[in-house]
Amino acid sequence: MDDARTEKDRRLDSVRTDSAQPLTTETGVRVGDTDNSLRAGARGPTLLEDFHAREKITHFDHERIPERVVHARGAGAYGRFQPYEGLSDLTAAHFLSGPDVTTPVFVRFSTVAGSRGSADTVRDVRGFAVKFYTEQGNYDLVGNNMPVFFIQDGIKFPDFVHAVKPEPHNEIPQAQSAHDTLWDFVGLQPETTHMMMWLMSDRAIPRSYRTMQGFGVHTFRFVSAEGRGTFVKFHWKPLLGTHSLVWDEAQRIQGKDPDFNRRDLWEAIERGQYPEWELGVQLVAEEDEHAFDFDLLDATKIIPEEEVPVRPIGKMVLDRNPDNFFAETEQVAFHTANVVPGIDFTNDPLLQARNFSYLDTQLLRLGGSNFQQIPVNRPVAPVSNNQRDGFAQHRVHRGQTSYYPNSLGGGCPAPADEGVYRHYAEKVEGGKIRVRSESFADHYSQATLFYNSLADWEREHLVAGFRFELGKCEELAVRQRVVANLNHVDHELSARVAEGIGVEPPETEGTPNHGRSSPAVSMANTAFGSLTGRQIAVLVADGVDAAAVHAFRDGLVSEGAVVELLAATDGAVRAGAGDPVTVDRAYTTVSSVLYDAVVVPGGPSSAESLEQDGVAVHFVLEAYKHHKAVAAVGEGTRLLASLPVPEGTFAPAGGTRTELGVVVSETAGDDCVAEFARLVGGHRIWDRPTAAVPA
Ligand code: HDE
């Protein structure tokens, strides 16, 4: 992809505004004093005729708009999408017609349950909404980072959201699913089971938006120019691999840096480390609609990738941060019904409800029917119709006519012949009935499939997730009901969860485990090895072995990592030999949970100072507890002394060696740095036992 600006970016130039001199009112009248209101006498009452004060305060009073009813907390970025190959045999969508078409995009990532100011790293689903500004109009692919959903029919959405949001009587807890009402709903609504497995897994605590998969969730339909349909599921795969946090770490980050994911996305783009995802599709021929043991229209089911492989069709790169959070990220309006020729819906009852809901919600949230004219929402494709007026109409429509047909306006705008949106001519018939199809009835098989597919460590985290969440439910009957449901997923799973939350494990097996798995859903099978954007802390004090510091920094930065030197105070530390070493931050202002790995270089006095500083020792202990790679060089190993491992485990013994994900070495040679980089690229050392670590 070239570096040229996208068409969307160029179009935004007309609305970009920079602060300029002098200060004026909204009507352009110059203001000489904005600190003192107009009053009758220096100590007298303020006068109503102070139009500047009134305008300033009134505007301020109206600064807030309703936050999104779900997905209120989010972060966005611009970028571009380019197909690898032409898909014209499958879809009339021009933006998928070939690698010579690059389409501008805006993407918004979000959490679901929390309000706009809530923390990023809560246990939750993440929204992954992409707006493609195509030449045929805007196409929105409004997905999540999990491939299934809680409910099968949109009519249940208000119930589900009411259950997961803070409880209505006291508005507690904020951005948490660990409370009675959610689990009450879940226990009574078994169709939630598969999604709850994903939500209790580490998928719900992504390390970064950059390391998060995205899914369209529903089965959609590609439609070719000839009108031929093909079922399609959309997948976004991050090129850096799919990686998550540790739950304890995620909770601590909520306090240390509530903007953790937002900041990570922003900074990566500012550094020029543009996040990338590959778009993939699973395709199912119309005639194979009923070839599966689940219903393609049921959003609580995946199509296992082993049954229908994901075909990579293009790449998305996010390369530009917005200029203004409110104007762009807050006002962006996604809508599942924003489709372009070649992409159509299916009768998934969840999708059908969404097609109603998103337009409706924007009307309220963005104050009326002209929200598509807000700069971030404007298509790059031309707009021409007879819709008129409404609050905040920004277009100045010219001419006498605003109806069709007309002769006075030259018949314009007239319906087009070419490139028009044509709905897939699906044959539909049926009585009006309020029933759920029998083909939606199995709520457990795929929950079992997910469970069977996890690596051991993922399964441990899943059990711990259930125990944590249900452990926060006061009502024992609620806990018991969920355990009873889990007994239909896997008997051992339900027993292990039950043991952790003080309820009776089920005596007999519910539904027997079918033993099938889908390895593609396990994060153990993702891409590993990249250091791009990984945050590495190097702990230093006076007397530090500067050669080791430089060796690690140079080696890791050259692979794309961000290396920060942390000391007890800002400024610089004296080196054992050579120039002082500049410190990036005081470690009291950060925390190990904000880093992916930690290095403790040697230098006798540096190691001694760090060893006597509880903050530094805790830093290393905590990183170790959270399964992060640690490197200790020479005397730096002293900081490992309080780890609950047999004495001598981390004693340097000549050369470089790795013990439980800790690289120990006498000197910071190339092999030592390379070994550490390998561990960092592996994300976490999951087989390191950490239960006894007191951090
Ligand atoms: Fe949404 N959802 N949703 N949702 N959703 C909204 O639209 C809704 C569902 C998703 O960054 C709202 O503009 C209903 C599934 C994302 O701006 C609202 C149903 C999936 C975002 C709404 C669903 C999503 C939203 C709130 C069940 C994944 C954030 C504000 C029928 C495939 C978009 C807004 C952004 C936002 C309704 C289910 C993803 C109220 C009724 C399934 C990523 O319209």
Fold observed for domain 39-373: Catalase HpII,  Chain A, domain 1 (2.40.180)
Give the pLDDT band (50/70/90) at residue 65: very high
Confidence at residue 33, expressed as pLDDT on a 0 to 100 scale: 97
Q: Is 349 in the pocket of ligand 1 (CB under 6 A)?
A: no
pLDDT at 310 over 80: yes
CA of 38 to the centre of ligand 1 (A): 47
| CATH class entry, domain 444-525 | mainly alpha
CA of 118 to the centre of ligand 1 (A): 18
Domains 39-373 and 535-681 share a fold: no
CA of 186 to the centre of ligand 1 (A): 19
Which residue's CA is minimally distant from atom 25 of ligand 1? 71
Separation of CA 464 from chain center = 22
pLDDT at 1 over 70: no
Average pLDDT over residues 76-104: 98
> Which ligand 1 atom sits closest to the C-alpha of 357?
44
Q: Is 154 in the pocket of ligand 1 (CB under 6 A)?
A: yes
Q: Token digits for 416? A: 């087009």
Which residue's CA is minimally distant from atom 43 of ligand 1? 127
Confidence at residue 694, expressed as pLDDT on a 0 to 100 scale: 87
Confidence at residue 650, expressed as pLDDT on a 0 to 100 scale: 93
| CATH class entry, domain 535-681 | alpha beta
pLDDT tens digit string along 570-625? 999 999 999 999 999 999 999 999 999 999 999 999 999 999 999 999 999 999 99
Confidence at residue 653, expressed as pLDDT on a 0 to 100 scale: 79
Confidence at residue 654, expressed as pLDDT on a 0 to 100 scale: 81
pLDDT at 172 over 80: yes
Confidence at residue 3, expressed as pLDDT on a 0 to 100 scale: 66
Which of 67, 76, 77, 266 has the alpha carbon at shortest distance from 175? 67
Q: Cα–Cα distance between 602 and 599 in angstroms, integer?
A: 10
pLDDT at 695 over 90: no
Return the active site residues: 71, 144
Residues of the chain above pLDDT 90, percent: 98
Which of 190, 192, 164 has the alpha carbon at shortest distance from 178? 164
What does the domain layout of the chain look like in residue ranges?
A: 39-373, 444-525, 535-681
pLDDT at 197 over 70: yes
Mean residue pLDDT of the chain comes to 97
pLDDT at 311 over 70: yes
pLDDT tens digit string along 480-509? 999 999 999 999 999 999 999 999 999 999
With a CB cutoff of 8 Å and minimum separation 6, the contacts of 462 are: 197, 200, 201, 451, 454, 493
Q: Cα–Cα distance between 247 and 233 in angstroms, integer?
A: 30
